[in-house]
Amino acid sequence: MLSSTALAESNYDIVITNGRVIDPESQLDAIRNVGIRGKVIETISTKPLKGNRIIDAKGLIVSPGFIDIHSHSFELPGQRMQAFDGVTTALELESGVLPVSEWYELQKTEGRVLNYGTSASWTFARISSMVAEKNQMQATAEWYLDSFKYPQWQSQQSSEQELKNMLTVLEQGIKEGALAIGVNAGYVPGVGGKELIEVSKLAARYGIPTSTHIRNWSNVDPDSSLEGLNMMIGLAATTGVESIICHLNSSMLRDAKVAIEMLEAARNKGISITTEAYPYGMGSFPISAAILRLPGDDFRSRIGTDWDSVSLIATGRQIVDEADIRKEQKSDPGQMVVLEYLNEDKAEDLKILDQSIASRWIPIASDAVPWSMPDGSMLKGDIWPLPKEAASNPRSAGTFTKFLGEYVRERKVLSWMEALRKISLLPAQTLENGVPAMKRKGRLQEGMDADITIFDPKTIADRATVENSAQTSIGIRYLLVNGTPLIIDNKLDVKVRPGHAIRRDIK
C-alpha cells in the first residue's frame, strides 16, 4: 500500500476523479479517486491522484464493469451495442459452441471490444452426433442455425453410441478451456433424463457448471416449466453439478413465484443451483424451435398467447396465424423471432416479471442475440454505427440500462448497491469457483481488473424497441475494459479492441 505522499506523487495511466464509487463486495459507496496502471486498479483513495489521463466523474457513479453471463452476440457490432449498455464482459454460457479452441481463436484473431468466453455446447455435440450432414462442427452461429433444417436432433432420443460421441466432444471442449457445459434443452423436447444425467456427471467431474435452458416450456401440466425446473434441481442434488438455470423469467412464463420458492428451498438445503433473468417480457429463438412447431391450440394453452405475438426479427413483420408461421418455417427454418409472452404495460404481467428481476440473489443477464439485416443476413465486421435497418431483440442493446433506469431510478425497487451487485459481483461469483479469472472481475477494488463502467444515474436508460432496436442506450459516459477506455464521454473509440479471453486453465 502506497503512503499518502507516494499516492499523490505517483503518475497513474488513468485517474478517475470525484466519482461516486460503488463496490458491492466491500459495500463501499463514497466519493473516491481511482488510480489505474496498465490493466489493474492500483489504488482507490480519498487523496488527489496524478495521472497521464484524467476522467472527471463528478456526478457520476463509478461501478465494476457489468458482466453478462448469457449473451449470443459476439460480432463487433453486437459487442459495441452491449458496451453502450455498460457491459465489459460477455459470456456465451447457455448455448455455447464447439469446437471451443476454434471459437476462441476466431475471437482473438478478429479482436473483441469486450471480454469474452464460452461453454462447451451440448446442442452442437448432439447435432454433430445425430445429423450426418452436420458431422463436421463449425464454431459459428450460422452452423447452428442451419441445423434447424434437420429436426431429428430436437425430437429423437440418442442411441448409446450417439451419447458416447457427445460426451467425447464435450469433454474435449472442457479440456480446451470451456467455462461450463451449455445445455440448450429447451430446443430438444426429445432428450431423455438419462442423457442429461450423463452430461451433468461430466460437468461435475471437471468442477464446472451446466448452464441450462430447461427442457419444458409451458404454463400447464403435463410437461410444465415447473416440471422441467424440478428435473434440474434433482440433477444438481444427485450428480453434484453446479447448475445455472437460464432466463428464469421467460422459462417460467407465469409461474415465477413458485419457481423462485423451489429454487430458494433447494439452495437452503445446500444444493448448488442458481439462475439469471432479463427485464423483458419477450423471448427470442429460431422460428423452427420446438415450441413454435406445436399445433395452434397446444401452443396457445402452453404459452398463454397466440401466433400474432410472434414477430420476425429481420423484417419486423408480425406473424398473422398458424398458416403464416408454417410458411416461414419452411422457407427459412433458422431465422430469428421475437415472442411476447408478458405484456409489461399490464400491471399483472409486470408483477410476474418483477418476481424474477427484483429478487436480490438472481443476477441479470441479457440473452442478447445476433443482429440481422432485412435480407436475413447476420451483421458482421468493423461496422459502426449500426445501420438503422439492423434488428435484434431490444434486450441485445438495453438490458442493463433498462434494469438500472427502471428498477432503481424510476421505480425504486432496488438500491444502486443492490442492483449493481446483481450485474457485477453476482455474475462473477457464479463462475469463480472453476474460473480463477472471474475472481478479479465484478469488483472495484485495489488489485482487481480495470473493467469499469461510469454512468450518469440521472439519465441512464435503454432506447431500443421491437420496432427500432438499433438504438444505443444512454447514460454510459465512460467504459474501461482492461484499463483501456472504450467509451469516452459518450463516444465509442472504434480503433481499440481491449477484450480478453475468459477461459479455464488448459492443463
Q: What is the 3-state secondary structure (H, E, C) of 427-467?
A: HHHHHCCCCHHHHHCCCCCCCCECCEEEECCCCCECCCCCC
Over residues 190-219, the mean pLDDT reads 96
State how far the Cα of 280 lies from the Cα of 379, in Å rounded to an integer. Answer: 23
135-168 pLDDT tens trace? 999 999 999 999 999 999 999 999 999 999 999 9
Listed residue (420, 478, 496, 401) closest to 34, CA to CA = 478
- CA nearest to 251, candidates 433, 70, 469: 70
pLDDT value of position 302? 96
507 pLDDT tier (thresholds 50, 70, 90):
low
User: Cα Rg for the chain, rounded, in angstroms?
Assistant: 22
Average pLDDT of the segment spanning 247-264: 98
Mean pLDDT of 279-292: 95
132, with CB counted inside 10 A (0-12, 13-18, 19+), is exposed
pLDDT of res. 505: 84
* CA gap 404, 420 in Å, rounded: 8
Residue 2 pLDDT level (bands cut at 50, 70, 90): very low
Residues above pLDDT 70, as percent of the chain: 98
For the cut 50, the answer to whether the pLDDT of residue 200 exceeds it is: yes
User: Does residue 3 register a pLDDT over 50?
Assistant: no
Does residue 5 have a pLDDT over 70? Answer: no
pLDDT value of position 9: 53
**pLDDT tens for residues 301-346?**
999 999 999 999 999 999 999 999 999 999 999 999 999 999 999 9
Give the model's confidence band at 108: pLDDT under 50 very low, under 70 low, under 90 confident, else very high: very high
| Whether the predicted pLDDT of 506 surpasses 90 | no
* Beta strands at 476-481 and 484-488: parallel, antiparallel or unpaired: antiparallel
Q: Name the nearest CA neighbour of 223 among 151, 302, 339.
A: 302
Taking 50 as the threshold, does the pLDDT of residue 6 lie above it? no
The per-residue pLDDT of the chain, averaged, comes to: 96
pLDDT for the residue 136: 96
CA angle 388, 389, 392 (to 5 degrees): 100
